[in-house]
A = this chain, B = another copy of it.
Amino acid sequence: MNVLGVNGSPRSYGNTAKLLELALEGAKMEGAETERIDLYRLDIKPCLGCLSDDQLACRHPCPVKDDMSGLYEKVLSSDGLIIATPVYWYGLPGPLKNFMDRLTSLQNMIYHVGYSLLEGKVGGVVVAGGRQGGVITAAEVIASLNYMGFLIPPWSYAYYAGLGDALRDKIAVLGAVNVGRVVALAIKGHSLSERWFKSDLELDPIVKRVRARVEKLREKEEKERREIWAEKQLSPSPELNHYDS
């Protein structure tokens, strides 16, 4: 049982990444093996929309050459997929949208072999935003995954909205861990008559593990990110506003 987590945030240590780590912890809790991918570290080119010229021109393998080749294999060999996204103008950031758009070649196999190569996989989504836009973003992902052939288990999305640290928002933490749990439960064929969402999870050790992991990533990456601003003489405010989505 493999669950793939895809981080669509430019930051490996922000709130989006935290929610994803929480979800993957939830999946592990139910016996899944998990892997996390940071899309901004990969070269994922845009979808060329071949099916608009000819419905049959779009098929797997997609002719565009980039890191999506390896990622297609990971998606195909996974049983569950968790999309983690910040809210960028009420939707997914461009690189994550490229990833979603490129999944079309797997879905469009309907026209070649009679079914979507994604049918029967299980999907979930976690969203982090500064203020609002979580639902419109989550709903777009869920509806898209569902129309690609994914099953969406009960309570399969969670969000954090705010300028603080998502790991301190108990509702967001509980929700995100459960997103991973329910994805794994659905893969295992959990009975519909049993409980799915679990509210009495011991969250502290999970939060601690996730925090340790993202703080290590932050150390490495935050400096690098600051150099981007420095290059242009952009002066970040002295009191950093850790918004972190």
Contact = CB atoms under 8 A, between A and B. Distances in A.
Contact of A94 (B94, B131, B192, B194): B94
21 contacts: A10-B46, A10-B48, A49-B86, A52-B243, A52-B244, A53-B222, A54-B243, A63-B229, A63-B232, A79-B192, A91-B91, A91-B92, A91-B97, A92-B97, A119-B154, A119-B196, A131-B161, A136-B139, A138-B143, A149-B197, A151-B154
A93 B86 contact: no
Interface in A120-160: 120-122, 130-136, 138-140, 142-144, 146-147, 149-157, 159
A94 B234 contact: no
Contact of A189 (B100, B132, B189, B232): B189
Tell me whether chain A's interface is mostly helix, strand or loop, or mixed. Answer: loop
B192 A189 contact: yes
Nearest to A136: B136
A101 interface: yes
A146 B135 contact: no
Given A154-B151, A232-B63, A243-B53, A195 B97 contact: no
Interface in A164-186: 171, 186
A153 to B, nearest CB: 6
A77 interface: no
Interface string A47-69: 11111111111010101100000
Contact of A97 (B63, B97, B192): B97
A139, A140, A222 pick with most chain B CB within 10 angstroms = A139
Chain A contact patch, size range: 35 or more
Interface string A204-239: 000000000000000000100110110110111100
A234 B11 contact: no
- Chain B CB within 10 Å, residue with most, of A91, A101, A121: A91
Given A54-B243, A151-B153, A151-B186, 5 more contacts: A53-B240, A56-B236, A63-B232, A90-B143, A91-B92
